[in-house]
């Protein structure tokens, strides 16, 4: 039999972030001392008070299906969080809790996109946005940016990318992979363009909102007349070191929330009940509870920028949030190192893995082929050792 898999899966690229993490794991099992700077995953333990809430939920026999869109109490807590942190007013019917922000985004794409619709992706963008849009049979339209503009697109670029087929745009601030944070002013300038095109929906992924080193976070839905067509995505994975708990959520116009609930009801049902109960406790806590993690990420950002700054050919911006640096390494393209010719960012990331035993992710996966992504969600010792290995290899 020739390949019996569907065209859908055959044409879907594998997640490069997860693939690199898997490759690093494999090499480690072979006995190699790999330092993993590929995955965007806090290396902290989930805070004690959240773990205690989960244990309590188990002992209280939370074991049944939850409502598909999440427990009412959790959706209430999410509304309060949106009010407190984002100045956004949602009611619980506008909230859908899902198995990670990834599922939240997939739900939105599935319920809004038709084959042939165009989705605008300001590049660089998180790897799964494009794959999720492609699964909905939409067409991706990238809007490029570069390190020279701190990876920000301009209103003129946005306007030029819009066609009658444009259905949605993805914003992500703080950004994975660049760490860029859009200011209120910058978002308002982009909204001015979108005002002229009332049929375009905005997906604003704010999963890194608390990992922010100064520029105040601004939620796109805060902009008057954007609220009714913006889907705000968030979750607890990054801020509370709860990646494996898999809880994401949206705040959206009620008709979109209803459609997402219908979609989810046929695919996964409600998210894990214990994780939902723990999330109520996480969101009710003051943000100051997680400041120690943010402070540590900040110190690591400064450390890694300082170390990378000493290596020839690494051009970096100063990321204002998230836990990634996204250096432009195109200086090395065309060069041969350890007998290997570097034809692009993928070759470069592979060289770092094979010759320095450091796992990173190629910028190709993020729509930025001159760059590689380095996650600094790792201990300062590991960061020092990894960058030292890279420096030695390239010297």
Nearer residue to ligand GLU within complex by CB, 41 or 118: 41
Q: Answer yes or no whether residue 176 interacts with ligand GLU by CB under 6 A.
A: yes
Binder among 24, 35, 40, 322 for ligand GLU (CB under 6 A) = 40
**Token output for 286:** 């003051």
Closest CA to 230 of 218, 246, 247: 218
| Residue 299 CB, nearest approach to ligand GLU (Å) | 21
Q: Report the nearest approach of ligand GLU to the CB of residue 20 (Å).
A: 9
CB 78 within 8 A of CB 249: yes
Dist CA 58 CA 52 (whole Å) = 10
Tokens of 154: 């301009």
* Distance between CA atoms of residues 40 and 316, nearest Å: 18
- Minimum Å gap between C-beta 42 and ligand GLU is 10
Please name every residue paired with 143 in a beta bridge, in sequence order, or none if there are none. 122
Give the nearer residue to ligand GLU in terms of CB position, either 66 or 362.
Answer: 362
As measured in angstroms, the least distance from the Cβ of 15 to ligand GLU is 5
Q: Is residue 166 involved in binding ligand GLU (CB under 6 A)? A: no
Binding mask 107-136 for ligand GLU (x = CB under 6 A): -------------------xxx--------
As measured in angstroms, the least distance from the Cβ of 373 to ligand GLU is 8
C-beta closer to ligand GLU: residue 231 or 322: 322
Spatial CA neighbour of 249 closest among 211, 209, 212, 276: 276
Q: Does residue number 23 form part of the binding site for ligand GLU (CB under 6 A)? A: no
- Compute the Cα dihedral for 202, 294, 185, 253 and give only its sign: positive
Using CB under 6 A as the binding rule, whether residue 15 contacts ligand GLU is answered as yes
Instruction: Please tell me the distance from the alpha carbon of residue 57 to that of residue 79, in angstroms, as a whole number.
Output: 21
Q: E strands within the chain?
A: 35-36, 95-98, 118-122, 139-143, 166-172, 201-205, 230-235, 248-251, 324-325, 336-337, 340-341, 358-359, 361-362, 372-375
State the residue number with the nearest CB to ligand GLU: 40
CB of 128 to ligand GLU, least distance (A): 6
39 forms part of the interface with ligand GLU (CB under 6 A): yes
For the segment 76-105, give every residue that binds ligand GLU (CB under 6 A): 102
Side-chain-facing half-sphere of 98: CA atoms under 13 Å: 27
The yes or no reply on residue 251 touching ligand GLU (CB under 6 A) is: no
Catalog residues that contact ligand GLU under the rule CB under 6 A.
15, 17-18, 39-41, 102, 126-128, 176
């Amino acid at each position: 039999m020739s390949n019996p898999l569907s065209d859908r899966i055959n044409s879907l690229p594998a997640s490069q972030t997860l693939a690199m993490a898997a490759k690093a794991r494999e090499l480690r099992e072979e006995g190699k001392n790999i330092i993993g700077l590929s995955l965007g995953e806090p290396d902290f333990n989930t805070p004690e008070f959240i773990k205690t809430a989960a244990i309590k939920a188990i002992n209280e026999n939370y074991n049944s299906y939850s409502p598909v869109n999440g427990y009412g109490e959790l959706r209430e807590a999410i509304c309060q969080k949106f009010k407190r942190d984002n100045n956004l007013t949602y009611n619980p019917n506008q909230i859908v809790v899902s198995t990670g922000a990834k599922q939240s985004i997939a739900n939105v794409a599935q319920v809004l996109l038709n084959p042939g619709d165009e989705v605008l992706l300001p590049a660089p963008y998180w790897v799964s946005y494009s794959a999720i849009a492609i699964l909905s049979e939409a067409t991706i339209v990238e809007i490029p940016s570069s390190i020279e503009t701190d990876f920000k697109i301009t209103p003129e670029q946005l306007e030029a990318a819009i066609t009658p087929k444009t259905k949605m745009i993805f914003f992500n601030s703080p950004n994975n992979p660049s760490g860029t944070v859009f200011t209120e002013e910058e978002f308002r300038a982009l909204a001015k363009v979108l005002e002229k095109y009332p049929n375009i929906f905005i997906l604003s992924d704010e999963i890194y909102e608390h990992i922010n080193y100064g520029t105040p976070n601004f939620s796109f839905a805060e902009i008057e007349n954007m609220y009714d067509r913006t889907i705000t995505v968030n979750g607890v994975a990054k801020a509370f070191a709860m990646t494996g708990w898999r809880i994401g959520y949206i705040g959206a116009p009620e008709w979109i929330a209803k459609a997402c609930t219908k979609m989810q009801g046929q695919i996964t049902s409600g998210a894990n009940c214990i994780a939902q109960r723990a999330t109520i406790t996480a969101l009710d806590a003051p943000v100051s509870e997680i400041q120690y993690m943010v402070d540590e990420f900040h110190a690591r950002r400064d450390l890694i920028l300082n170390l990378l700054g000493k290596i020839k050919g690494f051009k970096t911006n100063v990321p204002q949030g998230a836990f990634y640096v996204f250096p432009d390494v195109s200086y090395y393209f065309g060069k041969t190192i350890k007998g290997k010719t570097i034809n692009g960012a993928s070759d470069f990331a592979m060289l770092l893995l094979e010759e320095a035993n450091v796992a990173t992710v190629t910028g190709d996966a993020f729509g930025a082929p001159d760059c590689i992504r380095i996650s600094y969600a790792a201990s300062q010792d590991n960061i020092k050792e990894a960058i030292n290995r890279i420096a030695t290899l390239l010297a």
